[in-house]
Every structure is written in structure tokens, then in C-alpha cells.
A and B are shown apart, each in its own frame.
Chain A
Amino acid sequence: MTLFGALGFTAPWLLLGLLALPILWIILRAIPPAPVRRRFPGVALLLGLKDEEQVSDRTPWWLMLLRVLAVAAVIIGLAGPILNPEDDGEVAGSGPLLVVMDASWASAADWRSREAALDGLMNRADRESRPVAILRLTAPEQFQFQSADVVRTRLSAGLPEAWEPDAAQTDRAIDLLPEGDFDTYWLSDGIARDAREGLLSALEQHGDVTVFESPAPLYAIAPAAFVDGNVALSLQRLRPGPEAEVTVAAHGRDPAGNPAVLMRQAVTFAADATTAESELSLPAELRSRIERFEIEGNESAGAVSLPDDSLRRREVALIAGREDREGLELLDPLHYLQRALEPTAEILNGALTDVLPANPDVIALTDIATLSGAEEEALSAWIEEGGLLLRFAGPRLAASDVSRDAEDPLMPVRLRAGGRTVGGAMSWGEPKSLAPFPEDSPFYGLQIPDDVTVNSQVMAQPDPTLADRVIAQLSDGTPLVTHKELGQGQVVLFHVTANAEWSSLPLSGLFVQMLERLAVSTTSSALDAGELEGTIWQPVSVLDAFGRLEDAGTLPGVEGPALLDDPLGPDLRPGLYEGEDRSLARNVVTEDRRISPTVWPDRITVEGFSQPRETPLAGWLLALAIALLAADVIASLALSGRLRGARATAAVLAALALLPAEGRSQEADPLANEEFALAATSEVVLAHVLTGNDRVDEIAHAGLRGLSDTLFFRTSVEPADPMGVDLETDELAFFPLLYWPVTPEQEIPSPEAYVKLNEYLRSGGMILFDTRDADIASFGAGSPNGRKLQELARPLDVPALEPIPQDHVLTRTFYLLQDFPGRYSSRDVWVEAAPADARLIEGMPFRDLNDNVTPVVIGGNDWASAWASDEQGNPLVPIGSGFAGERQREIAYRFGVNLVMHVLTGNYKSDQVHVPALLDRLGQ
């Protein structure tokens, strides 16, 4: 290969051919263009005229230049020019080549360019016959130096992983490095990691290290947090840069359950900033449906964050017994509950029967003793499906007989009458404090403040089951909170009021924590390892490096603390994990993770991927030569005066055809549309649907032409030439009748076309479906045409059908008919079914059937063939034999006339039935 700057040639000796160009120039100049022979009667006047100058016998210089350039382009093209040929002088080496790839999620965003760079490396290694090996740091494996060809076949298998190489993996990679010298190309993802240095120095012991890093911006999104009722998004980018705007899309399912983008939010990075914040204000309903946030246009796991339960807030319905004490807020039984739940839950207010259909997670009843039978039933059903009923005691409950003798299904325990009061003005003893929570209580571990005291409580009857049901008790051992499982849900009873009347519990922070523990509200605080100790979390779906969610399949469960703290890796993939009663998301970029660019030592060469790639120019030059020669053809024609009129158009078209056709617009030309509309509406025009089968379309057209002629001759309907319509592009509203021959191979129209068709049918249009198979299968699945018809008509808004009844208006709109033959004479023709209440009225020859035109007529008689005629009116398709056939054709025409009359006049002929009655009534 010979190099000239950025240009190299594979066959430079061919360039000597350029020396021949001046000779070519001289030869071309010597030959005048060939004359045109032209007949011209005025030649008699020309005789004897002399040319004034002798110049134009020479080809003009610009034309010659064109030709010489074309030849030069061919010569240079054949010499095999290559732009930016990869120059291996710098990294000369013949030893083995190790390609180290970070292959982390951060590489996924521009994986294509990495693959391209890798491919380039392979090419070079192949040219120099250097053995190559690939080491992926996220999944280090034993490797061997092999020829580039062999390695190349496995390139596509090496995809990036959704985690970053951690110290252990890097150490393993260092262990794997073989003895001996080799050069290293390191495709880095650009994120700083401590483990890099060790590997770098290990690699440098073996040979040169060159680092490739992509300058493309890398974005990452931290898990969304719930702040002040809004969803807070926090984004990072690897390198500071100019102001940039990225779009974060919240993906989830729409109410119909289909994946959809629920919201988009533009987030702007200020210039030189590496982080950006934004807040999404979303209705709770929408928020709870969000499945992931994604930075659009960034295909990497770091650009995706999965929200777990932290965004989902539970819906709590609060229902109070006493509504009459308006204005006394602090005494309101719901006040403290409301204050405790507001920050972390959605609160529903309303009557019990109203909130139940909303299927809240929790229903809190404060001091409600009795429920109506229906309410109780509905509530039980709701609890059994997993609801949590939270009840608070109060004066009413204490005074009532609920759960006195037998345990109420909606009460965890039986209650003693009256309750008790301690430490009050009229009672002995001190107010009771809380006993420490037992180990099996959900409240276990909560700190009990000293100032929480209970003055009054409802007392539980001692039952054999009572001990199991107590989850919190007072210092004297009386139950404070009891619970009972009911189906999949549970009933929890606080034996005190929800306000501060009976105890100071609702005033304390403990109250809030207890509610949290009961999963009434969701925790806003992060989980700590202690809580997760000993739990196993099962992955539900995991992210791959490109940010796509995949089913976790058979991946093993992960221990709780590991899920929280361990670095991601093959054993802990980012994704959604499910525990006992909640789900946890493990994101690639955690809240406190800050990504920063790697700083490589000065001695290391860092290259970008965007270095000019080796571009062979031969093809372009040869194409240029062809284009120049084409231009030469046009120019020569123009010069010799042969480029006129149609030829000029053809030449220009040919020239345009050579251009890439990207400028062509697919939009419908409004002018053409208008012409179409004018053509279709100036006269009545029958239309047929273009099936794509030329023969069928031709016959359909000829058939409608024959029918149009017949109408013209016999009736006052004078149709113009029929038109073929393309359902996708043409407006249908102009045509009274669409003839639709069914072919098994025609394409199903698009949904948009069906919208148009349904609109057409609803607004009084008629489609005549013709399966053209003599109805051999009676619209069963037996004939391919019949099957196709079913497929075609399925999305259509077609009413119930019936075989055409004897008194259908189609039998008498113009001719009196009882048969509807086409090329075949099957009687099975289907039309819209008569209404069920159509009866034969006394004295009327016909029933009063549908008021409208039947939107479809379906048959298989191949009417178009029977109607088909050429321009002179001669029939195109033989029908039957002899006179009987001609008679059949005549009846077919009559059917066509009746059909068009029916479309155009509707049930006019039906109405005429009433004329005698009307006349009679008018006294005529």
C-alpha cells in the first residue's frame, strides 16, 4: 500500500494511466461531434449559406473536461484508493494482542461503536497475522491467543454485562494474564474504578497498553425518591460538558394493561454540571403504575431505574363513627391517624360502601361498633382477599355488645363489657405504660417512649386464643393491640381510641412506627441491613446491560443484606426482587453512587473511537465516473440539439433516477386528491376495490363498465367510467357502491383503512363482496376465497345477515327479480337481516323491512364477469351456453341495475307499497 497523506492506494501503478489523459484530451478535441440528420423542407432556402465560424465542430472544453474527469475517476478508482488507511506504524508489533474490555453497563450505550472499533482491531490484527485474545473484565475467563479470524467469529457473543468489574473480578483477570509479551488494547467504559490501576500495571509488564475511550456522553439515573408528594429524579453524567437536555420517560402500564409511556420529563444539565435534578408531579394512581424510569435514547442499564415499593403508597380509607362533633379537630377520632398517615399513604374518605369498591389496602374504623349486614359481608370479603382492617376502640365499642358473647368475625378477640379506666380522676391506680414488645410481635424492636400512657381501654375476654392474638400489651399484661388473620388479610384492633382521649399513644412517634410495622403506611426510610438479616429475596425481573428488563427465570434468590450492600455481579444482578410482603429494586446506579471519569496516567495512549475509519473510495469514484458519463450523455445530446421535448424530460428523469431517492415524499398530493375527488363526484361513479391481482381488477373494472353502460342505456342513472380504489389512500365517501372481488392472496387492509370502510358503511355506502367461487362452500371455511372473505370482513362493522328474503327491496327496485346470477347462478346472496319484528301487514304485498340500504351484499356469483364488457359493449366473458347464457347475463345486468338503484334510492320501492294507503288517507 502506498500512502499519500490520508489517502492510500492498493494498486498505485495504475495511476500512471493518468498520464494518458492529455493524449485523450487532444484526441477528443480532434473529433467533432457526430452530425444530426434532420428532414427539413426549408433546406432549399439554406442552400448556399456558409457557416460563420468553425468553432463548434470541436467539442466544447467543459464537455471534454467532463469526459476527462470521468476517465480520471475510473483510473483513480481502479487504483484502489483508501481514505484514512489504518497506519500501523505507531503500534508496530508482531506479538500477540490482548483486547481488554470493561464490558460493563456503561459500555452498552455505545456498544455499536465499540464493536466497530473491535472489528477494526481484528482487521488489523488479521492483516499482520497477530494472534488475538479477548478478555472481558465483567466476566473474566481463561483465554488463549488465537488467530483474529477465529476470534472474530465469537465477537458477537461477547455482550456487555449489567454490572461493573469489581475488585475480585479484576484480580481474577490479573491472574488469568499469561506469561510472555503481548500488547494490550483496553476498551474502557470511562468510569473511574480503584481496581483499574492494578490491572494497568500488570498489563504494562507484558507490553504496550493503548486505551480506547468513547467521548460520547454517558448518563445515569439514580433511583427515584419520593419527596414532598413529588417523585424526585436525580441524573448524572460522566463528564461535564455544555448544557444538555435529556428526557426521562416513566414507563408503566396503562389502565388497559398495555405497556405505555406514562410521562415524559425533560431534565437539563447545566453547563459544566455533572448532575441534574428534576421533580415529577404525578397523581398517585399513575405513580403506582410506574415500572421504570428511563433516560430516552440511552441504551444502558445505568440509564434505567426501577422503583420498588418506595413509590407506591398504600391507600388507607379512614372511617369514623362519630361525625357530629364538627370543629373540634383535636378530638376528631381521625385527626391523629390522618396526621400520621398523610406523609406516607393515600387517604380515602367516605362512607364504607363507597370506599370498598376502590379496593384500598387498609380500612381504618375508629370506634365503630356495629356494621350493617351488607357492609359486614363486603368488608369480610375484602379482608379475605388481603385487606387490612384496622379498628380502634372507643366509648361506643365499649358500650356495645359487639363481640361480647361470641367472637365477631371482624374482631380479633371477644370483649368484656364496659372496658376499664385506670389512673383517672374517678379511679385508682396509675395510668398504665406499655410493656416491651414480644419477639413474635410485628412491633418487636420498637423503642417505647416513657411518656406513653393508657388511661382507658377495652378489655379482651380471656380466651384460649387470646395469647396468640396479642401483639402489644400494657405493663399489666392486658392486651393493647390484638390481631387475627382472616383469609389472606387480617383484622387489627387497638384497644384504645385513635385520638388522645384514652391514651397518649397517638401523640407519640411510636404510633407512627407501629402503623408502619403494620404496613398501614409504607416506610419512607431506607431499609437497613439489620431488618433484612436472614431474608431471601427472589429476583422477579433483571436488567441486562442495555437496560432491558428480562424475566429472572431460574436465577437463585439473594440474601437480604447482600441485596442491599454487595456490589452487582453475576450473582447479584440489577433488577426487581421480591420478598415476603414487599419488593425491592436493585438499581445499577444507587443513590449515593457518583460516577466520575477515569484518569489515565500520562504514559498511556488514550484514543477515541471516532478516529476516521478506513474508507475504500474506489466504489465512490467509479460511481462518480458513471454519473459524469451520464451527465456527458445529456450534455452531448443538448449540444447537438437532440435534447428537446420528451427526450429532455426522459434525460432529466434518468438523471434524477441516478440521484438517491430520499427526497421523494410519500405524502398524498393535495392536487391529485382534488382531481380524484372531482373525477369521482362529477358523475355517479361505481368503484371496485383494487385487489392487486391484475386479472381480477381488470375484470372488475370491465364489469362495472358494462354495468355502468347498462344503467346509462336503461335508467336515468348515468354513471361515468368506473374507478378502482385503493383502500389505503383513496377517499371512499364518493362512491355509492364498492364492488369487492375477493381473492385469496389480497392483503388485509390496514386498521386505518378499516376505519374508513366502517365510516363508509355507516354513512350509507354499500360493499358488494364477491367470492367469485360460485359459493361452493356457502361461506364456510371450505373455499380459500370464503376464508379470505371472513378475514377481510372480520374488522368490518357488518350487521347480522340473512339470505336475501323473497320480499327484499332488492327484488323490485327496478326489475322484478328473484334470481341474482352472475357468471354462476347460486341463489345464496346475503344481505342485512330484516328486523325481528318485521311482519307481513294485512293487505301489503311485502313486509316493511330495513329502512336503510343494506351495507353489504355478499355472494359468490362472480357478477363482474357477467357484466364485463369492452369499450364497444361486447361481452368479455362467456356466460353459460347459447340463449340460456345470454338470458343469465341479462338477469345479471338486471341484478346490477337493481343493486345500484337500491343504493341510490334506498327503500323507496318499499315505501311505495304504502302509496295506496296514503292516497286513501288523503282522500284521493
Chain B
Amino acid sequence: MTPDIARLRQHAQEEASRFPALLARADQLAGTVLLGDHGRRRAGLGDDFWQYRGMRPGDSYRSIDWRRSARGDEQFVREREWQIAQSVMLWVDGGASMRFSSSDKFPEKSDRARLVALASAILLVRGGERVGLTGWSLPPRRGDVQIARLAEAFTREDDADYAPPEARGMLPFAKAIFVSDFLGDIAPVEAALTKAADRGVRGALLQILDPAEEAFPYQGRTIFQSMGGTMAHETLKASDLKESYLRRLAERKAHLEQLCRLTGWQFHTHHTNDSAQAALLWLYRAMDGGH
């Protein structure tokens, strides 16, 4: 009993220590992107000033902007810009394949995926959007608490080698971000995208790859194993495989891109040796461009 509790506690502490770090880094990363609140360019409910207009019958006295009106004889009403929140659904691959890093110098793919996803979530929340996870676990909400919840949700890890994208619970006409390496079976991805497109959900696929996965710098007799150990492939001369591997990788990327074009999504490949900010900027633009 006691060991269990102790282990749980230790684990919890580890998790907890990872969590604020992720949050802080994501926050910092998000801070690098200048936020533009995407208003609707028309008067309505919102926080930002839109225009003054003369008081019209029907306006309540409470809506009169007395400071402006005191300058003259007319009464003015301050109108605010209409702002509306979007729902953005995130899916970050928690599969074992994401926990790969070819060198100490590069972060694990999952680490980068969470960082970018969380940072974009922070940006979106600051922009007034509602952010949540696909599936039923965390529906889109706004506010800082939601970011904390997201961060916590991201730290959960999946044991499966390749996790299929979660496409359930997507709100119609919402936006979605899928972050994964997309190295596993392509069929669930295809299905998820088709389903999303059916519901009018647009979004972005961010493929995160390790430089080694792009370069395949291996030689000699090698047994390649998946991260979870469920798959293995033995070769006598790894360098000979390079070409065919790279061809397949390119095919995979082309397939994903094709899929995105069909469904109106956007596709981008990010490498862990590049700066996370690049991925974040792309994601942010992909989200913003959808407006």
C-alpha cells in the first residue's frame, strides 16, 4: 500500500513539476507573437471601442458616453466592436512514437508538439477564442483555467505506438489543430479529416518530425524497433534503405497534403531542430487565415 502511494506521489510530483514548466514555456513562446484580437469589424458586443454615434431614440441613458457628450450639446453613444469567439479543438498525439529524439540536442517530438499546441492555445484564449480538446474529455472553454486544464491534459501519455487522431465531439464549423508525426497508419487520419470536413470543421495538420527521421543517417546491420517495441524491422545494410525510406516519407507527406487540400485543411511539417516559434507562427497564421 505504502509503496503505491509513494510511487503515486512521486509520479504526481514529477508530473506537477513538468506541468508548470510546460505552461511557462508555452506562455513565453506565446508572448513572442503579437496578438491581434480578431474583431468582426462591426459594432456589437465586445470590449473594444468601435465608434461614437449620435444618440438615437431608444438608446438608454446608461449607454450615453458622458465624457464625449460633455464637449458639445449632442449626446453620443459609444459603440463597441462586435467580437465573437471561435471554438478551436486540439488534438496532440500522445503516442509512444512521439517520445523520440535522435540526439540530446533536440527535444522529444511530443515535447515540441505539446509546447506548440499549448502556446497556440494560450494565444487563442488570449484572442478570446474557446479552446478545447477533441473528444469528450475537455470541451472548448475560455479563460486561463482552461489553459491549465489543457496543459494537464497534454501531459497524459499514451502507451500505443501510434495513436489515431481523436475526431469525435467536434463542434460544427469549429476549428481544429492536429499535432502528430503522422508516421503511423494513415487510415484513421483520413477518416478523421473526412469526418471533420463533413462537419464543416477546418483546421491545420502540424507534422512534427525529428531531423533523424528526415535524414535517416543509419548504417550497418540494424534492427529498427518502434518506440513501444511492437514493431521491428531488421536490415543488413541500413544505408541501403535510406532511399526507399525517404521516398516513402515523401509519399506520406504528399498524401497528407493531398488530404488537406481536399478537406480544406492546412498542412505543415515542423522539425524539432527548428525553433518552436516557427511552428507557432505557422499555426497561428493558419488559424487566423481561416477567418
The residues of A with any CB-CB pair to B shorter than 8 Å are: 32-47, 49, 51-57, 639-642, 644-645
Instruction: From the candidates B161, B184, B223, B241, name the one contacting A37 in the complex (CB within 8 A).
Output: B223
Contact yes or no, B231 A47, CB < 8 A:
yes
**In the bound complex, how far is the Cα of B185 from the Cα of A667, in angstroms?**
61
Complex: chain B residue closest to A639, CB-CB:
B220
CA distance A360 to B64 in the complex (A): 123
Distance in Å from the Cβ of B77 to the closest Cβ of chain A?
Answer: 56
Minimum Cβ distance to chain B for residue A636 (Å): 9
Which B233-277 residues have C-beta < 8 A from chain A? 233-241, 244-245, 248-249, 252
A44 to B95, CA, bound (A): 14
Give the shortest distance, in Å, between B16 (CB) and chain A (any CB).
22
A826 CA to B231 CA, complexed, in Å = 74
**CB-CB under 8 A for A645 and B103, given A41-B226, A42-B245:** yes
From B147-155, B188-196, B211-219, the one touching the partner chain is B211-219
B5 at the interface (CB under 8 A from A): no
Q: Indicate if the CB atoms of B226 and A56 lie closer than 8 Å.
A: no
Once the chains are docked, how many angstroms separate the CA of A579 from the CA of B212? Answer: 94
CB-contact partner of A49 in B109, B185, B212, B245, under 8 A: B245
Q: Give chain A nearest CB distance to B217 CB in angstroms.
A: 8
Total A-B pairs, Cβ < 8 A:
113
6 A-B pairs with least C-beta separation: A641-B219, A41-B97, A640-B220, A641-B220, A56-B237, A35-B221
**Cα of A42 to Cα of B210 in the assembled complex, Å:** 10
- Interface flag for B138 (CB, 8 Å): no
Whether B252 contacts A641 by the Cβ 8 Å rule is no
Tell me, in angstroms, the Cα distance from A231 to B173 when the chains sit together: 113
Interface centre among A40, A46, A51, A56 (most CB of B within 10 A): A40
Instruction: Tell me the nearest residue of chain A to B235, going by C-beta.
Output: A51
With CB as the reference atom, state the residue of chain B lying closest to A47: B233
Cα–Cα distance between A644 and B216 once the two chains are bound (Å):
14
Please count how many residues in chain B sit with their CB below 8 Å of the partner chain's CB atoms.
42
Contacts from B to A (Cβ < 8 Å): 97-98, 100, 103, 109, 161-162, 181, 183-185, 210, 212-213, 216-227, 231-241, 244-245, 248-249, 252
CB nearest to B210 among chain A residues: A41
Interface contact A49-B233, CB-CB below 8 Å: yes
- Supposing A45-B245, A49-B244 touch, asked if A38 and B183 sit within 8 A by C-beta, the answer is no
Cβ of A36 and Cβ of B223 under 8 Å apart?
yes
- Report how far A642 CA is from B238 CA in the complex, Å: 12
Chain B residue nearest in CB terms to A640: B220
A36 to chain B, nearest CB (A): 5
Known pairs A36-B221, A641-B219 / 9 extra A-B pairs, C-beta < 8 Å? A40-B224, A42-B213, A45-B248, A46-B224, A46-B241, A47-B231, A57-B221, A57-B236, A639-B220
Name the distance in Å between A53's Cβ and chain B's nearest Cβ. 7
Q: Are A41 and B219 in contact (CB under 8 A)?
A: no
Given the known A-B contacts A36-B220, A49-B241, A641-B218, are A42 and B183 also in contact in the complex, defined by CB atoms under 8 Å?
yes
Partner of A43, one of B217, B226, B240: B226
Complex CA distance for A54 and B236, rounded to whole angstroms: 7
Q: What residues of A have a CB within 8 angstroms of the CB of B236 in the complex?
A: 32, 51, 54, 56-57
Residues of B within 8 A of A35 (CB): 220-223, 234
Instruction: Write out the residue numbers on chain B whose beta carbons fall within 8 Å of the beta carbon of A52.
Output: 237, 240
User: When chains A and B are docked, how far (Å) is the Cα of A53 from the Cα of B238?
Assistant: 11
CA distance A47 to B97 in the complex (A): 15
Residue of B nearest to A34 (CB): B221
User: Once the chains bind, are A38 and B233 in contact (CB under 8 Å)?
Assistant: no
16 contacts between A and B (CB under 8 A): A32-B236, A38-B223, A38-B224, A40-B212, A40-B213, A40-B218, A41-B109, A42-B183, A42-B216, A43-B232, A44-B226, A49-B241, A53-B237, A56-B237, A57-B236, A639-B219
- Shortest beta-carbon distance from A412 to chain B in Å: 102
A837 to B100, CA, bound (A): 78
In the assembly, what is the distance between CA of A248 and CA of B217, in Å? 67
* Smallest beta-carbon distance B164→chain A, Å: 13
B239 CB contacts on chain A under 8 angstroms: 641
Closest A residue to B241 by CB, please name it: A49
